[in-house]
A and B are shown apart, each in its own frame.
Chain A
Amino acid sequence: MVVQSKIRIGLFVLLFGTLLASAPDTPSMASDTGKTKGLVVTYFWYAMYEGVDDCPDGPALGMRRLAEPYLEKMNPEERAKLKSPGNEQQLAGVLSAFSLGGTAYGDAIDVRAQMYGPPLAPNGKYPSGSYGMTPVQDQCSFPQQFEDPPLRTVQGKIAYGIDLDGGQDTLKSCTHSNFTSPTGQNNVDNQLYRVLGCVDGFRRRAAEEQATSVSAGTMEDWFHGVRKDGSTTLLIEINNVDDPLNDDDVEIVLYSSRQATPYSGAGDNGIPSYSLTASRPEAKVPNTARGQIIDGVLTTDPTDLSVPFKPAGVMDEMYYEFRDAQFRLNLLPDGGAEGILAGYFDIEKAYYIEFASYYDTARRNAVYDGSCPAIYAAMNKMADGFPDAETGKCTAISTAFKVEAVKAFVIHPVQTTAQAN
């Protein structure tokens, strides 16, 4: 469940934070073996294809649209003021209150419940939040207790991703529709794109599709911004590279770094050849994969991988926990790489890290104009991996992340030094 996930991850990041604090500062003087390539990731977020026919029924109903009936009941002057340019913060506050209650619009949560869902707790008592400051009525923390209108999901046929299950349902899969990749590869599994692809905040194209959208691309902006502002840095080390174009056995290791991802001041471009000190995740965190390089394309075998991620304002590192993760990376002549990391997310973990791991989840919900209950329900409905042994219900959902990286020198504080080329 969500609450259990919170506690588990909270303990984990606490342990990892302790390890970080005790890591020695003195770098080693190990020499370059020439068999290791280093990368610093300059882009890592959902690979969103955003086809024109993805959302034929219109955008997913998010907080703003769901709140519209409530806003209609407001004093016209107050409503006009809220919707006027420059008052986005106040409007976000109202929308937040719509899911949380709140002092200024205390009745909003009740209005919402009357319109879209059953009373949260018939006895008037709500479960405690896992953090003392989390409002107990937070629909994002307790999405299963709300019944929003069903999420409008992607109906298009094309998406980025990888065939994770061999093209058909297997013992590790549940019935679902596959996509075709933009380059024509069949049986692409990316059910999480199906869930998120019509939510304004996850869809850049929403800006051109809807004149009223104020959230188009906000999630990408925020997550990419976290990387650009130095809050999170992801390093990839490719070891045992005998031949950079063709090698049947290489090792891939993920690290974070306390140093900022290097970007040019003039734009989004990463600057290659920086030396960045690696921070090793806690030992139990899976950060290693094995794979092959064929004609300059790195492909890894399915394995569990945790990709470190540290949002701005969050003290401890978090992880995107992939199951059966697979890299497909084109290794570029300049030492950089671009491609995809695909795999499955455990539903509860994926929902938590994306929608419920922050204090003011409801306000963020308003910013990206989503509906936590509807998304949570859709994720469960679209789940296509790792069926429960007893119920047969899938517990994980396929996904794909776009990866861009530039050459870097991965410096290890104590043991060895891994360097590009």
Chain B
Amino acid sequence: MSRGGCKLAILIGVCSLPLLTGCSPQDLSSSTALEPHTEGGPPQMRRLTEDQYRQSIADIFGHDIVVGGRFEPELRMNGLLAVGTNEVTITRTGFEQYDTMARAIAAQVLDTEQRGTSVPCTPKSISEPDTACATQFITEIGRKILRRPVSDNILQNKLEMATAATRNTKDFYAGLEYALAGLLVSPEFLFRVDVAVPDVAKPSHSQLDAYSKATRLSFLLWNTTPDDELLDAAESGALDTHDGLTRQVDRLLTSPRIEDGVRTFFSDFLGFEAFDLLEKDPLIYPAFNNRMLVDAKEQTLKVIVDLLVNQHGDYRDLFTTRRTFMTRTLGVAYDLPVRPEQGWEIQEFPEGDPRAGILTHLSFTALYSHPGRSSATLRGKAVREQLLCQPVPPPPNDVNFTIVQETDNPNYRTARERLTAHRENPVCAGCHKIVDPIGLALEKFDGLGQLRTRENGAAIDVSGELDGIDFEDAAGLGQALHDNPKTATCLVNSLYRYAAGRVAQPNEEEWLAYLDDQFARDGYRILDLLRRIAVSDAFYALDDTETSPTLEAFNDG
């Protein structure tokens, strides 16, 4: 067992958890003989995202529970918020927010209308402590909240809390409220904590315990806390068997809720949190409004879910598909008619329309633009970094951007002309050479994403090349991206990074290559890729040589 894992295990009292019947790594490895062996990475302690927190509360207590309050800011690292969750902690102010939310949630769960369904027993007296009933409540609800059985220490702690509060308030349910609020600010709830147990097959190694597996699985595929069936599978040891794990993976993958998992990954992968801060100049783009931004993000997610989940389609087709979803608000920017007054309409970009693929969606063209003008550089950089996993260095501090920013300069009427002049600075030329040809292909979409054919009266040239492949327009760029082998490889690496919550380790290179190959063999289908990750050994492997953040750090901090 790694030191970090042991610390975790000791702290949350699961070191003594017995290895359950059927916990045999051979069961898994026997059916994944082709899967390269990995040593995995260090145990993770990942703070729940706002979405995960909200969804967990809804799944545990019901969707009518109101979650109010501000969440700690999230951190994008190595291209993903998911990786940042392993690096962030909770500040004192942030904890106060969590505490406030927890109290408000507990009050709703235990108010006079809800307590009949949320508390599984009736206290002997409503004004006095009832240890048996409180124990039952804390044990049952605690398992859902903490995503594992409540340890004796935690149970004792919350019982004492409930008893003391009941005595002070003369209200049994007020006592439960305190205990419940306490559970909701537990680090074991606010963080997804990997718990390591010894690997039976390799005594010198450790592996994730079944509840940690359940948690990884559930957040990867549904972006929420494990449901009862998954926790039961962990408790029974089924998750430690290949068949049991596969059965649960397939259950989760075939549930409609897989949509949540796919949407969450792509929101992260495509950097959609930037929508929260996106602004456009209303004088330059009078059609812009906040509803349009909400719909723009949703449009792309709908296309993703439709193609990759509902149609079980090829991931690369996202960059070429003309099938899309439209609202009346979006139709203004796309210059397309939309029949329903409310809601969405499935459409195909019409013949002759230069739009094809999600690069031509507002979610890309508006997001990677300035408030008052388009940006071939931002768009090209986004394609390189996010879709091809090719980091682009930041510009030097002393670069003069005047030529690029002066869109009304009569000597440089189009973005291509301005960027060509800008590249005369050799310091800039290197990076712009690899990003501009991509971004310039999208220049017929202005800073909001509306189609235009001319800029300052000059025709816009949208031809370009991507890694040696020439194209004539935005649709050609989409096709080039579709055909570029790095596109699929980047998706594989990103999805695994997202799943693991960390960058891939050197020992995982062979595994990623294998995964990349399997992705191609599977027809670039995202659900198949998720399945391969979810049933793999690699997804649950722990590296003994690494240490990780521990709850001690949290508790000390």
Interface of A: prevailing SS: loop
A271 adjacent to B337 (CB under 8 Å): no
A273 adjacent to B341 (CB under 8 Å): no
B340 adjacent to A266 (CB under 8 Å): no
Q: Is B331 an interface residue (CB 8 A)?
A: yes
Selected from A28, A269, A273, A277, the residue in CB contact (under 8 A) with B331 is A273
| A264/B282 contact (C-beta < 8 A), A32-B350, A274-B332 known | yes
Selected from A259, A269, A409, the residue in CB contact (under 8 A) with B337 is A409
Q: From residue 299 to 354 of chain B, which have CB atoms closer than 8 A to chain A?
A: 328, 331-333, 335-341, 350
The CA of A2 and the CA of B328, in the complex, are separated in Å by 42
Which chain A residues border B339 with CB–CB below 8 Å?
Answer: 27-29, 275, 411, 417
Q: Is A62 an interface residue (CB 8 A)?
A: no
Q: How far is the CB of A257 from chain B (nearest CB, A)?
A: 10
Q: Is B283 an interface residue (CB 8 A)?
A: yes
Which chain B residues border A277 with CB–CB below 8 Å?
Answer: 341
Q: How far is the CB of B250 from chain A (nearest CB, A)?
A: 37
Q: Is B287 an interface residue (CB 8 A)?
A: yes
Contact residue range for chain A?
20 to 34
> Which chain B residue shows the least CB distance to A262?
B332
Q: Is B286 an interface residue (CB 8 A)?
A: yes
Central interface residue in B331, B337, B341, B350, by most chain A CB within 10 Å: B337
Q: How far is the CB of A42 from chain B (nearest CB, A)?
A: 12
The CA of A275 and the CA of B347, in the complex, are separated in Å by 14
The CA of A165 and the CA of B402, in the complex, are separated in Å by 61
Q: What number of B residues sit within 8 Å (CB to CB) of A?
A: 17
B337 adjacent to A419 (CB under 8 Å): yes
A409 adjacent to B331 (CB under 8 Å): yes
The CA of A417 and the CA of B328, in the complex, are separated in Å by 14
Q: From residue 107 to 149 of chain A, which have CB atoms closer than 8 A to chain B?
A: none
B341 adjacent to A271 (CB under 8 Å): no
| A27/B286 contact (C-beta < 8 A), A262-B332, A271-B332, A275-B331 known | no
> Which chain A residue shows the least CB distance to B450?
A273
The CA of A275 and the CA of B339, in the complex, are separated in Å by 7
Q: How far is the CB of A40 from chain B (nearest CB, A)?
A: 11
What per-residue 1/0 map shows which CB atoms of A2-35 lie under 8 Å from chain B? 0000000000000000000000010111001000
Which chain B residues border A27 with CB–CB below 8 Å?
Answer: 339-341
What per-residue 1/0 map shows which CB atoms of B457-480 lie under 8 Å from chain A? 000000000000000000000000
| A273/B335 contact (C-beta < 8 A), A27-B340, A27-B341 known | yes
Which chain B residues border A274 with CB–CB below 8 Å?
Answer: 328, 331-332
Q: Is A85 an interface residue (CB 8 A)?
A: no
A273 adjacent to B332 (CB under 8 Å): yes
The CA of A28 and the CA of B340, in the complex, are separated in Å by 8
| A259/B286 contact (C-beta < 8 A), A273-B335, A409-B331 known | no
| A275/B337 contact (C-beta < 8 A), A32-B350, A262-B332, A265-B282 known | yes
B332 adjacent to A266 (CB under 8 Å): no
Which residues of B line the A interface, CB within 8 A?
A: 282-283, 286-287, 289, 328, 331-333, 335-341, 350
Which residues of A line the B interface, CB within 8 A?
A: 25, 27-29, 32, 259, 262, 264-266, 269, 271-275, 277, 409, 411, 417, 419-420
Pairs A–B under 8 Å by Cβ, sample size 19:
A29-B339, A32-B350, A265-B289, A266-B283, A272-B332, A273-B331, A273-B332, A273-B335, A274-B331, A274-B332, A275-B331, A275-B338, A275-B339, A277-B341, A409-B331, A409-B338, A411-B338, A417-B339, A419-B337
